[in-house]
Structure 1
Amino acid sequence: MRPLRRTPVPPGPAGLAALIGPVMAALDGSGPAVAPVPVTSAIVSDDYVASILRAVRPDDPSVPLESDEVAVVLATSGSTGAPRGVLLTAAGLQSLNESVNGPGASPQWIAALPMSSMGGFNVLIRALDAGREPIALDSLGGAEPVTPIDFQRTVHRAAASSSDIRVSLVAAQVRRLLADSDGVDALLGCSQVLVGAGPLPAALLETATAHGIRLTRTYGATETSGGCVFDGEPLPGVSITIDEGAEGSAGEVLLSGPMLALGYRMDPASTAARFTPLGYRTGDLGTVDDDRLTLQGRIDDVVVVNGVNVALGAIERVVETLPGIESCAALAVPLGEAEVEIVLLVLGSDPTPSLRDDISAAVQAALGRPAVPRRVAVVPEFPYLPNRKLDRAALRALATEPGHVAWLP
């Protein structure tokens, strides 16, 4: 059976350098399967690393790899629970390279997301296929704070080798870059800016468009070898199925195609439940109209308020269309023994006097009174996991533990 070896991934460009050789060998079959695991750092705790190791179990002869086809075992983000080790094949990881890079194209990719997460790892796969090693930000993986100057400097380095510069970012990084003229100039120097790992707020998209910057929204998961739906449209070879949704209504999104993983490490029950004959069950709600996917939130984000089903993601999308609101997070918190109330955390620092009323009016008009948040607070920043996904557990702590936020009157 093919061995599975842990590859420690430190922050900064050293993390990228540590992965290139082992990943190339894993992809061409000349080396063992690879398990990229972040090392403890200022933003990566010992507990987080331990949770990754429990999920992937590298270097453990007592738990052999499930298949010799597996080239990489990558942990999921753990944003909604404990991380899972995902069994990825070389064929699956590389199956969409031509669709993303373009036929015969050789773009220069910039590594801006942690290399032990699918968002960052995916960039490495695309870059190797293009024949160019990615260029890493000095701040990669939390080595130092992300700054527009760091990003601009990296784009200038990339421009020395190619006029076709690509980068994959998360919304929080885009927001920081758009707030600075150096960041805007650097984004304008990129031929493609992919934005994934969560929703792209409408206000952020509008700001980018006003600057002449085109953002491409990507959708996928570690289980789908990364983004496989761009701006709502599946890449060639990718199929979308909506399960249990009446015509025109939302159902669970299932994805199928050559990019799918084989399943989960040491978890045959979850593998059977999520990897079905219809495709991979994403746990997301969505609709498809004219072959374009529109997401409606997570299945487990639907809560019952006064007997009415309310999708927290739908609340967030409504609120993010309001002027001056770039991002928000809706949460359901306990209210008594058997009820919940919806609260809303808004990213910002200077709320207008009418903010809460504006939010209530917009949500009630779009979704009905049960969806209106009972409490609203403005926070200066959101907590993120080391892989730059929103830390929902930390958000819940902010909303439920006394003294962490000041609720608007």
Structure 2
Amino acid sequence: MRSQDGRPATVLPGGTGVPAVTAVLASLPAALDGTAPALRVVDPEAPVPPAPTAPAGVAALVATSGSTSGTGHLVALDGAGLVASARATSARLAGPGQWVACLPVHHVAGLQVLVRSVVAGTEPVVLDTSAGFRAGDLAAAVRRLRPDVPGYLSLVPTQLARVMADEHAVAALRGLAAVLVGGARTAGALLTAARDAGVPVVTTYGMTETGGGCVYDGVPLDGVDVEVDAGGRIWLAGPVLARGYLDDDAADRDTFRERDGRRWLRTNDRGSLAGGTLTVLGRLDDVVLSGGLNVSTAAVEQALGELPGAGECVVVGVPDEHWGALVTAVVVGDGVPGLEQVREHVAARLGRHHAPRALVRLPELPLRGPGKVDRLTAARLAAELLAVEDHRTERMR
């Protein structure tokens, strides 16, 4: 969608710092109701771009993270759609409340926390994570929430994993009305541990193109419709959909489709629907061709999440002369057992051809955007370490 008219957007720095969040929050109400230009909140560590022109009705221009392709798009989000998302979230949870803002506001998850605060008429508690996320700091921020309204928090899986390693943070989060977790797949073992500990976790599925999460614990928010086509592709519709891509007309036409007089978002995700509940099975392109067979990286990651000591992980394909692509598990720390046990576990769940043939341990996974694993960088790091037979690697011979 190219803008032929409209006003130049207001460019503001993002991140999680208090001055930046305060400035975005102050400008947001007028952007949402259309009395002021749209906001283009940018990564504070990136060069400041020229102000793009936003069509009338657009409240925010948000860049996608491009965690798989390495490139993203500039998404135009209507004020009405952002407000609809915030109200539907409030209706699904415990009503209007106060939020802890600890996600970068130049990404949709962090921006949506501020939109929900504006709609609820409450002031968020801002936690600056610019120097790193610490569970103890989060616990202190949660304790600053008002006791007279529901308390909410939005996290990415990496942050939830760190919370679960801190008993004081876990205790603080127990008192919240809901802890939304999204932006990337959350390991089943981590979800179980959090819920067993009394943390009110709600998983969310959505994207920048839907103004953030629009399916909570597998159930669409009010007004949102979900379909899964014969090929397993997830389609989404409803008032939360973005206006489109401001920077790529071809991608805009391919992603946003008119069907039976209604506008739908054609996602790149695979899923299944049963009894109105959506299960997200991974991306359509998350497949590694190894030894002539297709290996679903999402399925292998889910199996790895069942292992004792499992934490964060990603499965990638590393170029290999014999296999074409070597199925490689990239894991964090030393909690996951060795390659032989990993292979036995995955083979029992999915079959021998899904079993990783290499294991790489990293101190942390490379991330892009608000907390999505950067698969391109993870694959590159794995290839580099395997090439020199680093002590952090194991490989089948």
- Tell me if both proteins adopt one fold, taking TM over 0.5 as the criterion: yes
CA distance in 2, matches of 1:405, 1:6: 46
Q: In 2, are the aligned partners of 1:6 and 1:59 still within 8 Å (CA)?
A: yes
Aligned to 1:389: 372
Q: Displacement of 1:241 after TM fit?
A: 1.2
Corresponding residue to 2:347 among 358, 364, 369? 364
Cross-structure match for 1:319: 304
Aligned partner letter, 2:392: A
1:279-337 CA-partner distances (Å, limit 9, x unpaired): 21220111111111111111111232333222111100011112211221100121239
What is the deviation of 1:10?
4.9
1:141-167 deviation line (CA, Å, top 9, x unaligned):
x2x22222211211111135x341000
Displacement of 1:351 in angstroms is 4.8
Match of 2:98 in 1: 108
Distance 1:276 1:349 in 2: 46
Q: Which residue in 2 is equivalent to 1:376? A: 359
**Partners of 1:15 and 1:358 in 2: how far apart?**
47
SS in 2 for 1:150: helix
Q: SS at the partner of 1:408?
A: strand
Contact 1:379 / 1:405 at 8 angstroms: preserved in 2?
A: no
User: Following the alignment from structure 2 to structure 1, what is the Cα–Cα distance between the partners of residues 302 and 15?
Assistant: 36
Which range moved further: 196-205 or 335-344?
335-344
Worse-matched range after superposition: 296-305 or 82-91: 296-305
Which of 163, 166, 169 is 1:183 aligned to? 169
* 2:219 aligns with one of 219, 224, 233: 233
Separation of aligned partners in 2, 1:208 and 1:235: 23
Q: 1:148 aligns with which of 126, 131, 135?
A: 135
Is residue 16–residue 127 contact of structure 2 (8 Å, CA) maintained in 1? no
Residue in structure 1 matched with residue 60 of structure 2 by the alignment: 72
Ranges in structure 1 where 5+ consecutive residues have no aligned partner: 41-48, 246-250
- Distance in 2 of aligned mates of 1:185 and 1:323: 23
Distance 2:256 2:159 in 1: 32
Is 224-233 or 77-86 further displaced after alignment? Answer: 77-86
CA shift for structure 1 position 338: 8.5
Are the equivalent residues in 1 in contact too, given 2:206–2:215 (CA < 8 A)?
Answer: yes
| Shift in Å, 1:212 | 1.4
Whether contact under 8 Å (1:377, 1:405) holds in the other structure is no
Q: Deviations over 1:343-390 (max 9, x none)?
A: 1112222554xx322221222122222211110122221122252222
Write the deviation string for residues 35-54 of structure 1: whole angstroms up to 9, x where unpaired: 001212xxxxxxxx24xx6x
1:274 equivalent to 2:255? Answer: yes
Residue in 2 that maps onto 1:97? 86
Q: How far does residue 254 in structure 1 lie from its aligned partner after superposition?
A: 1.0
1:334 and 1:341 in contact (8 A); partners too: yes
How much does 1:105 deviate? 3.2
Amino acid in structure 1 at the alignment position of 2:67 = S
Q: Which residue of the other structure, out of 56, 59, 72, is the alignment partner of 2:51?
A: 59
Gaps of 5+ in 2: 1-5
Partner of 2:317: 332
**Kept after mapping to 2: 8 A contact 1:138/1:150:** no
Q: Are 1:204 and 2:161 counterparts? A: no
Query: Do structure 1's residue 173 and structure 2's residue 159 form an aligned pair?
Result: yes
Aligned ranges 1:212-251 → 2 under 5 Å? 212-245=198-231, 251=232
Match of 1:258 in 2: 239
- Higher mean Cα deviation, 320-329 or 219-228? 320-329
Offset at 1:261? 0.5
Tell me how far apart the structure 1 counterparts of residues 309 and 86 of structure 2 sit (CA, whole Å).
37
- Aligned-partner Cα distance in 1 for 2:25–2:391: 43
The alpha-carbon distance between structure 1 residues 220 and 351, as it changes in their structure 2 partners (threshold 3 A), is: closer
1:28 to 24, 30, 33: 33
1:19 Cα shift?
A: 0.1
Q: Name 2:179's counterpart in structure 1.
A: 193
CA contact (8 A) 2:205 2:215 kept: yes
Q: Are 1:297 and 2:316 matched, yes or no?
A: no
Q: What residue identity is the alignment partner of 1:183? A: A
Q: One-letter code of the match for 1:100?
A: T
**Equivalent residue for 2:3?**
none
CA contact (8 A) 1:351 1:378 kept: no
> What secondary structure is seen at the aligned counterpart in 2 of 1:240?
strand
Q: 1:129 to 1:180 in 2, by over 3 A?
A: same
- Secondary structure, in 3 states, of the residue corresponding to 1:157? coil
Structure 1 residue 405 displacement after superposition: 6.3
The question of 1:344 aligning with 2:337 is answered no
Deviation of 1:78 after TM superposition, in Å, equals 2.3
CA distance in 2, matches of 1:25, 1:183: 35
Kindly tell me the number of residue pairs found equivalent between the two proteins: 381
Residue correspondence of structure 1 range 123-134 to structure 2 within 5 A: 123-134=113-124
Letter in 2 for 1:130: A
Identity, % of aligned positions: 36
Judging changes above 3 Å, is the alpha-carbon distance between structure 1 residues 10 and 216 closer, same or farther for their aligned structure 2 residues?
A: closer
Q: Is the 8 A contact 1:8 1:39 kept in 2?
A: yes
Cα deviation digits, residues 216-268 of structure 1 (max 9, x gap): 100000000000000111111111111233xxxxx111111110011111211
1:85 and 2:111 equivalent? no
Range 224-233 or range 322-331, more displaced: 322-331
